């Protein structure tokens, strides 16, 4: 893999079930992640995905590309537009740097119809004998 190499896009349908189930699985009981009426009362158009889920999906995206032998050493993300049910978030990425110790920096963006939901960088350590698929 070379600096500038693009990772294949990954489209994730944003279902109500995904948003609610992942918030509850992470013990995030904040009402804006599961109660549409309370979310609207707080100024949102609907429930929206929590940051733990966004972080997990970014991790899944990069490790799906890098393979099971890769080790994530850092994830640095920033949230933007909310992920609402009924939309799709498409993750895309690009190799930004390769380090002598086997680490690779991947720039990641997850966009939906409102704009960028998540942007950031993931650093993975690849074993010397392994290469991304």
pLDDT digits (tens, 9 = 90+) for 21-63: 999 999 988 999 999 999 999 999 999 999 999 999 999 999 9
**Cα separation, 13 vs 7, whole angstroms:** 19
pTM, rounded to two decimals: 0.92
Torsion sign across C-alpha atoms 61, 104, 130, 94 = positive
Of the chain, the percentage scoring pLDDT greater than 70 comes to: 96
pLDDT digit string (tens) for 4-27? 999 999 999 999 999 999 999 999
Confidence band, pLDDT 50/70/90 cuts, at residue 129 = low
Phi, psi of 132 (to 5 degrees): -60, 150
Alpha helices in the chain (DSSP H): 16-25, 36-41, 51-66
Q: Which domains does the chain have, with CATH numbers?
A: 6-125 (3.10.129.10)
For the CA atoms of the chain, what is the radius of gyration? 16
């Amino acid at each position: 893999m070379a600096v500038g190499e693009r990772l294949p896009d990954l489209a994730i349908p944003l279902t109500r079930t995904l948003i609610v189930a992942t918030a509850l699985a992470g013990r995030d009981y904040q009402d804006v992640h599961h109660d549409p009426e309370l979310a609207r009362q707080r100024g949102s158009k609907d429930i929206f995905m929590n940051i733990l889920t966004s972080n997990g999906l970014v991790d899944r995206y990069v490790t799906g590309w890098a393979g099971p032998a890769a080790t994530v050493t850092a994830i640095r993300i920033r949230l933007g537009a909310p992920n609402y049910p009924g939309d799709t978030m498409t993750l895309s990425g690009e190799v930004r740097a390769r380090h002598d110790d086997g680490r690779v920096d991947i720039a990641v963006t997850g966009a939906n119809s409102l704009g960028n939901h998540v942007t950031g960088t993931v650093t993975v350590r690849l074993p010397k004998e392994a290469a991304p698929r």
